[in-house]
Amino acid sequence: MPEPGTPLRILVLHGPNLNLLGSREPGVYGNSPLEQIDGQLVERARLLGVVVTGSFQSNSESELVDRLHACRGLVDGVVFNPAAFTHTSVSLRDALTATSIPFVEVHLSNVHARESFRRKSFFSDIAVGVVTGFGADSYLLGLEGLVRHLRGAGRGAG
């Protein structure tokens, strides 16, 4: 946690193919390009009194792992859309547990209403929470939930 009076620091991570948002299957993923989503997150963070320290998208699993390692101790939480790595990446899961950075898993589409292989997540059980199916708003809802959790208001039983 930051010093008292210092805003919470939030990192946003985007997994593979999210650089194509706005043109990639808009019926599934919406029309908002990634830059627009990132801008909305920065603005919502400002309204919440927190800071988005950076937004990073990669199609490379190792680059996402490296970014998590580099942010250890520098951020208070992560809003993370692992995209296709949701269903495959033990190394990203291990990076999240090793760094102990609280995170919220977000997805644009409702993964539970899609192909059966998309229903398995390597992250849901270690995430603070999961937001899925609200399009670009999933990121904003995830940010709000993460901030509430970090401030101590998001803890509850079941």
Strand order in the sheet with 103-107: 51-57, 9-14, 77-81, 103-107, 129-132
Q: Is the pTM of this model over 0.75?
A: yes
Q: 129 versus 17: which is more confidently predicted?
A: 129
29 among known catalytic residues: yes
Q: 124 versus 3: which is more confidently predicted?
A: 124
Q: Considering the domain boundaries, does residue 103 fall inside one?
A: yes
Q: Considering the domain boundaries, does residue 156 fall inside one?
A: no
**Partner residues linked to 106 by β-bridges:** 131
User: How far is the CA of 19 from the CAs of 69, 105, 117, 128, in angstroms?
Assistant: 22, 18, 22, 25
- The answer, yes or no, to whether residue 112 has pLDDT greater than 90, is no
The one catalytic residue among 14, 29, 139, 149? 29
CATH number at residue 58: 3.40.50.9100
Q: How many domains does the chain have?
A: 1
Domain span at residue 61? 9-150
The one catalytic residue among 107, 112, 139, 149? 107
Q: Under DSSP, is residue 157 helix (H, G, I), strand (E, B) or coil?
A: coil
107 among known catalytic residues: yes
- pLDDT tens digits along 20-32: 876 565 555 557 7
Q: Considering the domain boundaries, does residue 51 fall inside one?
A: yes
CA distance 153 to 158: 14
